[in-house]
């Protein structure tokens, strides 16, 4: 449920035989390609896609929808009149993609000392009534290939069966495969621990990948694509995050807390979720391999211009939907060039004015897109250094760069600023032989590996014995997303993701009647989480910089949604353990929990 539903305006220009569409999309460049080459059969340069100020997306706006084509063709049929279509909220529920919806059967192999030696998983994944753009890639590449989590599980077998049903088509929703995998792995940890009588935290420690084994390749070949390309878990140090989360949540005093809750007619449970996320949806040779469900490259692009007036204009191929890309790109490029943020203009969302890029999803912007911007800034800096040497009558090797100042080594008074260099080079009255005017550089970047955020979340719930009502009374998240560009934005991303994941665990679900009609198709019928249902979210961090990119970032847009569903589900099932209940399926509504409690008690109220 993004705040803004989908909508678009199509305009056909009969004078130029060109189409322009304003769309609420995460992927304007991809939409132009798909509309031109695969749907309308027109040259790509004849279509312009503009996607400004997208009010939330969470994966639902990656795909090609029929209305994109309809507004363009309708405008042509009407002789060039603009045609607008805006989705209503009920239409959003009924026709924009749904997410998750797996039925999974799980077998765990292990030893009495807590070592888990194997997982066998069979998952039936709902694809809906028609296939979405990348629907098969979610339950395969982004789910089955991360079913070992952050653990040394040497043997993992996954079989995924895609199923066509009568529902809305199913595709990426915040986390996209990773929340489903984390749920399976983290439930497996708790179920196996209960089977052998081991503490839930201890079994995780027992199976963590040790810090000295990175980069790590799972022996089952989970990171090997069908064509042989590989990705590796680049870095990690999982136990400090677990330890911190246990202390913050009060897990170590859990028995006293349980006893106190029982005196109030409540069952209290702690739920752990030690998650591992794969970010970047890259490199291209891996994600684009035949059979991976994508069939696309995943590199990224950026262009930087330094105008004669000193303003820096950064255009990017990634596409913000409220994540604060304009702020973080300005921070990073400002640091690279020594330019104040207020002198940096960030432009995006228009296929006519930005280099081709694959958009934003899969927590890829900071690690892939921003690295392209850093490469473009390095090209700007190098060209400016060479021209500064010309202006200062020095060798380029003797020019040192400090922020926006280009100085001669040993002669700090001999210097030029980036703005002075840009002014002179834009005019190019005295450019050296062979040097082109203007500071204008484009860079493309295809990451050699994914990035791998991790952490431990702990949920504490209380269940009312009489009604089955579940209250989330405490939530702790200790995440490692590498270096942070903007800590406030990171915290905001985590808050939103946690809320969505908790919603999936406790309240949310697309409900269909026996006649195939959607019953939860409005705000009155769908249990959207409310702020009043949450305790304050307590966040902390560990920092393990990623070696994959120059600024050591990993990705954070989906981490909260990936960890929180499993944490809350584990907490509810932990609370019900005294009744002999091992597992209750999500969503863990009061009705579902109450029925499980009554069955465990033999029907006694």
Angle between helices 370-392 and 325-337 (to 10 degrees): 30
- What is the spatial distance between Cα 50 and Cα 72, in angstroms, rounded to a whole number? 13
Whether the CB-CB separation of 406 and 416 falls below 8 Å is answered with yes
Strands 405-408 vs 399-402: parallel, antiparallel or unpaired: antiparallel
Which DSSP symbol is given to 545?
-
pLDDT value, residue 602: 87
- What is the spatial distance between Cα 173 and Cα 362, in angstroms, rounded to a whole number? 10
- What is the spatial distance between Cα 245 and Cα 312, in angstroms, rounded to a whole number? 42
- What is the spatial distance between Cα 304 and Cα 373, in angstroms, rounded to a whole number? 8
**What residues does 2 pair with on adjacent strands?**
none
The pTM for the full model equals 0.95
The three-class DSSP label of residue 525 is coil
The three-class DSSP label of residue 121 is strand
Whether the CB-CB separation of 477 and 600 falls below 8 Å is answered with no
Burial class (CB in 10 A: 0-12, 13-18, 19+), 372: buried
Whether the CB-CB separation of 174 and 100 falls below 8 Å is answered with no
Burial class (CB in 10 A: 0-12, 13-18, 19+), 579: middle
**DSSP string spanning 371-401?**
HHHHHHHHHHHHHHHHHHHHHHTS-GGGEEE
User: The tokens of 51 are what?
Assistant: 């996607």
- What is the spatial distance between Cα 530 and Cα 528, in angstroms, rounded to a whole number? 7
Considering only CA atoms, which of 438, 442, 439 is closest in space to residue 302? 442
Residue spans of the chain under pLDDT 70: 290-295, 603-605
| Structural domains of the chain ordered from first start | 7-88 (3.30.365.10), 102-282+449-600 (3.30.365.10), 299-445 (3.30.365.10)
The contacts of residue 364 (CB under 8 Å, 6+ apart) are 279, 280, 281, 282, 298, 300, 318, 358, 555
Helix (H) or strand (E) segment spanning residue 466: none
195-224 pLDDT, tens digit per residue, is: 999 999 999 999 999 999 999 999 999 999
Work out the angle at residue 170's Cα, subtended by the Cα atoms of residues 166 and 174, and round it to the nearest 5 degrees. Answer: 150
- What is the spatial distance between Cα 351 and Cα 42, in angstroms, rounded to a whole number? 16
**What residues does 279 pair with on adjacent strands?**
451
Angle between helices 559-575 and 487-506 (to 10 degrees): 40
Task: Give 215-223 contacts, CB < 8 A, sequence gap 24+.
Answer: 215/449, 218/148, 218/153, 218/154, 218/156, 219/154, 219/155, 220/148, 220/153, 220/154, 220/155, 220/156, 220/157, 222/144, 222/145, 222/146, 222/147, 222/148, 222/156, 223/145
Q: How many residues does the chain have?
A: 605
């Amino acid at each position: 449920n993004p705040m803004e539903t989908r909508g678009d305006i199509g305009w056909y220009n009969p004078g130029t035989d060109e189409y322009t569409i304003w769309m609420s999309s995460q992927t304007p460049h991809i939409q132009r390609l798909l509309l031109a080459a695969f749907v309308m059969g027109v040259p790509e340069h004849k279509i312009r896609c503009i996607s400004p100020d997208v009010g939330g997306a969470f994966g639902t706006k990656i795909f090609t929808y029929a209305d994109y084509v309809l507004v363009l063709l309708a405008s042509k049929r009407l002789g060039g009149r603009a045609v607008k279509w805006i989705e209503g909220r009920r239409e959003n529920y009924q026709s924009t993609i749904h997410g998750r919806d797996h039925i999974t059967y799980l077998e765990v192999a292990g030893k009495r000392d807590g070592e888990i030696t194997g997982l066998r998983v069979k998952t039936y994944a709902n694809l809906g009534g028609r296939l979405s753009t990348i629907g098969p890639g979610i339950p395969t590449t982004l789910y089955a290939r991360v079913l070992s989590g952050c653990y040394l599980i040497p043997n993992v077998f996954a079989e995924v069966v895609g199923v066509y049903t009568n529902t809305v088509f199913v595709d990426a929703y915040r986390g996209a495969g990773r929340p489903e995998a984390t749920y399976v792995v983290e439930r497996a940890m708790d179920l196996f621990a209960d089977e052998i009588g081991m503490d839930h935290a201890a079994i995780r420690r027992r199976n963590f990948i040790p810090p000295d084994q990175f980069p790590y390749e799972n022996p089952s070949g989970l990171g090997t694509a069908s064509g042989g390309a590989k990705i590796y878990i680049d870095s990690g140090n999982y136990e400090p995050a677990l330890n911190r989360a246990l202390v913050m949540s009060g897990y170590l005093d859990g028995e006293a807390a349980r006893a106190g809750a029982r005196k109030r007619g409540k069952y209290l449970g702690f739920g752990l979720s030690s998650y591992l996320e794969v970010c970047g949806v890259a490199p291209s040779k891996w994600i684009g391999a035949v059979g991976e469900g994508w069939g696309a490259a995943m590199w990224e692009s950026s262009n930087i211009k330094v105008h004669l007036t000193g303003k820096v204009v950064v255009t990017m191929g990634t596409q913000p939907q409220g994540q604060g890309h304009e702020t973080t790109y300005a921070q990073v490029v400002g640091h690279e060039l020594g330019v104040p943020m207020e002198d940096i203009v960030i432009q995006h969302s228009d296929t006519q004015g930005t280099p081709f890029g694959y958009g934003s999803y899969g927590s890829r912007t900071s690690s892939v897109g921003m690295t392209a911007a850093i490469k473009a800034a390095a090209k700007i800096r190098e060209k400016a250094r060479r021209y500064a040497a010309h202006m200062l009558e020095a060798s380029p090797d003797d020019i040192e760069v400090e922020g926006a100042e280009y100085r001669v080594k040993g002669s700090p008074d001999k210097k030029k600023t980036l703005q002075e260099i840009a002014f002179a080079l834009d005019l190019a009255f005295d450019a050296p032989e062979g040097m082109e005017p203007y500071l204008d550089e484009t860079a493309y970047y295809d990451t050699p590996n994914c990035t791998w955020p991790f952490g431990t979340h702990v949920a504490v719930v209380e269940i009312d014995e009489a009604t089955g009502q579940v209250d989330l009374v405490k939530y702790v998240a200790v995440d490692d997303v590498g270096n942070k560009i903007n800590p406030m934005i990171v915290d905001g991303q985590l808050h939103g993701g946690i809320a969505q994941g908790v919603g999936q665990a406790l309240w949310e679900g697309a409900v269909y009647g026996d006649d195939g009609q959607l019953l939860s198709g409005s705000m009155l019928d769908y249990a959207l989480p409310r702020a009043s249902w949450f305790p304050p979210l307590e966040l902390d961090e560990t920092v393990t910089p990623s070696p994959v990119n120059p600024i050591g970032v990993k990705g954070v847009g989906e981490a909260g949604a990936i960890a929180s569903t499993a944490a809350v589900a584990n907490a509810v099932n932990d609370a019900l353990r005294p009744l002999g209940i091992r597992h209750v399926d999500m969503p863990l509504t009061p009705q579902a929990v109450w029925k499980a409690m009554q069955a465990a008690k033999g029907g006694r109220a």
